[in-house]
Amino acid sequence: MPPLNAETDLSPDPDALKSRSDAGTVQVRLTGVRFAWRRNEPDIIDIDDFSVARGERLFIDGPSGSGKSTLLSLLGGVVVPRDGKVEVLGENLSSMRGWRRDRFRADHVGFVFQMFNLVPYLSVVDNVTLPCRFSRRRRDRAEARSSSVHADAMRLLAELELDRSKLIDRAVVDLSIGQQQRVAVARALIGSPEIIIADEPTSALDEGTRERFLELLFNECDAEDTTLLFVSHDSRLGTLFNRRVSLKEINRSVVEALP
């Protein structure tokens, strides 16, 4: 198999990484975090101390069943730990009520799901603008960057190389897998959330499409100094990121991974 960056060098620029590291502040920190899905079951997550700086492209790898998606759910405030603190942008998600975590996530976190989770009965552009219906903050930021939320959605679709004239009014179920994936990324990016969380978003893509997809995602994150948390079982992708972490290095829980 040829290198993933054989044609396009997606490796982080050392000078840009240094300046970002020097100026960056911690945006995500886990301290003494333990989590299990049910009482009296072994912990899936047991992390003593882990942090991510502003603007980092962080790659987290691990086999299926090792707790990667659970970690992302903790980082996004979808679930809270049994013990410890999950701090994002200086806020302790662990102590927030459910509705406050939902509001915080809508305002500050963009998710790219493995299965995309697009709304099948909405058009392409309506899927992209959906976060701005739930977050006034993201709506205001989209309008500040472009003339309107719709215009910002169109900008993102263009930068992600989707033919807007042919696609914007189509249902997302009529798109190819690669097109649906880019719609999902545009939805995560609209309104410039500080953090993008991507859960195995390239698993359905062939090598060439995967490389181009990552380039577009990196470009958008770099433009806004957005922190990218990206998990995958494909360890080959790790060289394309600022930092690579194996889940077993930070998670003390022993999880029986699937083959």
Using CB atoms within 10 Å of the CB of residue 90, give its burial: 0 to 12 exposed, 13 to 18 middle, 19+ buried. exposed
- How far apart CA 211 and CA 223 sit, in angstroms, is 19
Q: Among all chains, which residue has been given the structure tokens 């500050």?
A: 108
Q: Is residue 7 part of a domain?
A: no
Q: At 190, which CATH number? A: 3.40.50.300
Are 33 and 46 in contact by the 8 Å Cβ rule? The answer is yes
Count up the domains in the chain and report the number.
1
Task: Look at residue 6 in the predicted model and tell me its pLDDT.
Answer: 40
Task: Look at residue 217 in the predicted model and tell me its pLDDT.
Answer: 87
Q: What is the mean pLDDT of the chain?
A: 85
Q: Is residue 42 part of a domain?
A: no
Using CB atoms within 10 Å of the CB of residue 86, give its burial: 0 to 12 exposed, 13 to 18 middle, 19+ buried. buried
**Mean predicted confidence (pLDDT) in 102-127:** 92
Q: Is residue 17 part of a domain?
A: no
Q: Which structural domain, as residue segments, surrounds residue 170?
A: 54-73+97-250
Q: Is residue 65 part of a domain?
A: yes
Q: Is residue 25 part of a domain?
A: no
Q: Is residue 14 part of a domain?
A: no
Question: Can you give the pTM of this predicted structure?
Answer: 0.84
- How far apart CA 68 and CA 57 sit, in angstroms, is 16
Q: Is residue 61 part of a domain?
A: yes
